[in-house]
Amino acid sequence: MKGTYTAVVTPFNDDGKIDFDSLGNLLEKQKNAGITGIIAAGTTGEAATLTIEEKVQLFSFTKQVCPDMEIVAGTGTNNTIDSVKQTEAALNIGIKKVLVVTPYYNKPSCRGLYRHYSEIARTGAKIILYNVPGRTGLNVDPECLARLADIENIVAVKEASGDMKRLAEYIHLVGNKRFDFLSGDDFTVVPFISLGGKGVISVFTNILPELGVAMTNAALEGNFTKAAEIQISITALNYAMFLESNPLPVKTSLSMMKMCRDNFRAPLDKMEEENIAKLSETLRNYNLI
């Protein structure tokens, strides 16, 4: 895996059902920008509150709208049996790659992680291991990642700790040939690639996909001066994307841009008014609204 992937939001209608019309428009925006691939039902897509039936609908719709793009299905949960079922559902649709977050709340040992990923790997899917300690309370240590490298079907790692020291430790111990390392932190894409990363799974590319593609491509081509200029230029935007828990700011931004409604699944709810004002000011500064 290599390039710029967007963890796309899941739009909802006022009745709480998935808004496939808005999702179709968002996906067309991604296609036209040259995005490498789409993550359907990731963290940004509110996966934790989607039913398996809704996920199957999302996977199928995304594959239909983006037949020539790489589609990755978010099938990871803190329940191994459910993760296997969701992965099998994605495979039945024809999606071969799945994003599997480390189990949250359970906080398993490395032995537990090995069991979790081994059972999912038996489906035959290609797995992107998703390390996001801020969400899960679990940070995969380098020695454990080296152990997980024995599971052949894990092909990539989405590293979202934002810790360049941790990435360096991963690559020092495991190398960067066994896994494709993808940044899960929009603040550190360029330094991440400079250490051997292959790209990014991004939040901000929901609203500015062209800039994300330009930044990632420049870094992958070795033009770190250009890439760094873009990285620095989007700093304020990235901060705005995390004024509150993701995906609240990015979906609210898309609502301000008339791309979808700012509807969320409970327990999430609309942003605080003071943060909406800050977000609106940032979007105006970037000429997005």
**Could you list the pLDDT tens digit for every one of the 289 residues in the chain?**
999 999 999 999 999 999 999 999 999 999 999 999 999 999 999 999 999 999 999 999 999 999 999 999 999 999 999 999 999 999 999 999 999 999 999 999 999 999 999 999 999 999 999 999 988 889 999 999 999 999 999 999 999 998 899 999 999 999 888 999 999 999 999 999 999 999 999 999 999 999 999 999 999 999 999 999 999 999 999 999 999 999 999 999 999 999 999 999 999 999 999 999 999 999 999 999 9
Q: Which residues span the domain enclosing 58?
A: 3-221
Q: Which residues pair with 202 in a beta bridge?
A: 6
Per-residue pLDDT, 132:
94
Residue 26 domain-assigned (yes or no): yes
CB 253 within 8 A of CB 207: yes
In the structure encoding, which two tokens stand for residue 237, read together? 């935007």
Per-residue pLDDT, 203:
97
Residue 270 domain-assigned (yes or no): no
In the structure encoding, which two tokens stand for residue 244, read together? 């509150």
pTM here is: 0.95
CATH number of the CATH domain containing 139: 3.20.20.70
Residue 11 domain-assigned (yes or no): yes
114 annotated active-site:
no
Per-residue pLDDT, 176:
83
Residue 102 domain-assigned (yes or no): yes
Residue 141 domain-assigned (yes or no): yes
158 annotated active-site:
yes
Residue 242 domain-assigned (yes or no): no
> How does DSSP classify residue 96?
-
Residue 228 domain-assigned (yes or no): no
DSSP symbols for 256-284: HTTSS-----TT--PPPHHHHHHHHHHHH
Residue 148 domain-assigned (yes or no): yes
Residue 98 in 3-state DSSP?
A: strand
Q: Which residues in 215-244 are b (16+ Cβ under 10 Å) and which e? A: bbbbbbeeeeebbbebbeebeebbebbebb
Per-residue pLDDT, 194:
96
How many domains are contained in the chain?
1
Q: Which residues in 127-147 are b (16+ Cβ under 10 Å) and which e? A: bbbbbbbebbebebebebbeb
Query: Is the four-CA dihedral 55, 39, 210, 230 of positive or negative sign?
Result: positive
CA distance 37 to 27: 10
Per-residue pLDDT, 175:
87
Residue 201 in 3-state DSSP?
A: strand
Catalytic residue, candidates 55, 63, 97, 158: 158
CA distance 90 to 83: 11
Catalytic residue, candidates 55, 63, 117, 130: 130
Per-residue pLDDT, 228:
97
